[in-house]
Structure 1
């Protein structure tokens, strides 16, 4: 998945759901994700040979894999805007869901 997909508020929001403790940093070309809690990081760079992207991941969490999974779920749902998301908060849990509370959801750190 191209990092160019992260070009609007909704896609960035969805990416953050996939890696909630990571900071998204825009680079001159591509992006970087840095998770200070685990030391995990990922960054993208242009693949000059094929016009695609190379993804580098380091640390215990595969941050880009998590972002791609979240973006894939969102795209499969038709890439709806932010109004399609809701949140459930209990004494023990926080979750953001897509469509309805029984739909796809992402648990957030408490």
Structure 2
């Protein structure tokens, strides 16, 4: 009789492990799909923003060219503006502030996702 109980216990434990593994896979799949969907959304926003900035930069350069009545000065001024932004980003990277900002945003997104999962 004890052998039957041990066999039944073994089957139950095996089934429990299998179900836990399937649940883990489903949770992982859901989490990865949420992260991937968010990354795709950010990528679309980044591409559209990049195109917008490109066309606005060209328009500003043309406007400055006509304002200064020179064919190149507008492009040089716009390039100088981008150089200032690049130096600002480099300074923020070197000081660690940009890294800290993105880490804080990532942790905020993860904690929000966890709290949303717990309320379900």
TM-score by length of 2: 0.22
Larger relative strand fraction: 1
Task: Choose between structure 1 and 2 for higher RCO, CA contacts under 8 A separated by at least 6 residues.
Answer: 1
Structure possessing the higher radius of gyration over alpha carbons: 2
TM-score by length of 1: 0.24
